Amino acid sequence: MHYKANITVGALLVGESRKIAGLMLRGVDSGEWKKAVEEQNILQKLSAASSKRIASLIRARLALMTPGLWKLIRDGDSITAKHACLAAAIKHCRLLGDYLDIVVREQFKKMEDRLIPRLWEDFIVGCRQRDPGMDELAPSTAMKMRGNIHKILSEAGYLKDSRKWILQRVDISREILDYLEENKEEYVLKCIKATK
């Protein structure tokens, strides 16, 4: 286990991911990357620093997957692109994957209709037990992570609302399920199917 607080920058970032996937598929060099992200501000952020930070997060997520997924993000319909971004985010952030696999799945098994704050707190305690090397999280960091994870779950359809945390079942795009199966992404596939 290697839990990291690497989900504090943003949620799914689908629109931004489409643009970064396009750069990655074109195989741009570092100069072209810098020009697109910092000078042309293709992500349309308020500062170059913010653009760099978000572009770096998205590239780190997508780099864990193959160009096949990048194409689904760049060219897929809104649902396919969203679920492709979710798959990459799960692979990049074990906390997100395990939250889906452990907490969300258990709530569906119990036929509960929502998440509650205590579930997050218990989950973080469990993470420390599973990964004794996990860094101690400042309360503000833990809250930001919880907010971003719940926003991701809301954007991907697992929650009706990122504030009320009411759960709903999700039908993952067939293209994404096929991609994960073909590329033997068993962990991501298991997590993404938490509502089944």
93-192 carries CATH number 2.40.50.90: no
Per DSSP, helices labelled H in the chain are: 14-26, 30-34, 48-62, 67-75, 78-92, 94-98, 105-109, 117-130, 139-156, 174-182, 186-192
What does the pLDDT read at residue 1? 60
What does the pLDDT read at residue 79? 96
Residue ranges per domain, the chain? 14-88, 93-192
Per residue in 122-133, pLDDT (tens digit) is: 999 999 999 988
Using a 10 angstrom Cβ sphere, with 0-12 exposed, 13-18 middle and 19 or more buried, the burial of residue 76 is: buried
What does the pLDDT read at residue 135? 85
pLDDT tens digits in sequence order for the chain, 196 residues long: 678 878 777 799 999 999 999 999 999 999 999 999 999 999 999 898 999 999 999 999 999 999 999 999 999 999 999 999 999 999 999 999 999 999 999 999 999 999 999 999 999 999 999 998 888 888 898 899 999 999 999 999 999 977 889 999 999 999 999 999 999 999 999 999 999 8
Tell me the residue length of the chain: 196
The CATH class that applies to domain 14-88 reads mainly alpha
What does the pLDDT read at residue 196? 83
Same fold, 14-88 and 93-192: yes
What does the pLDDT read at residue 98? 97
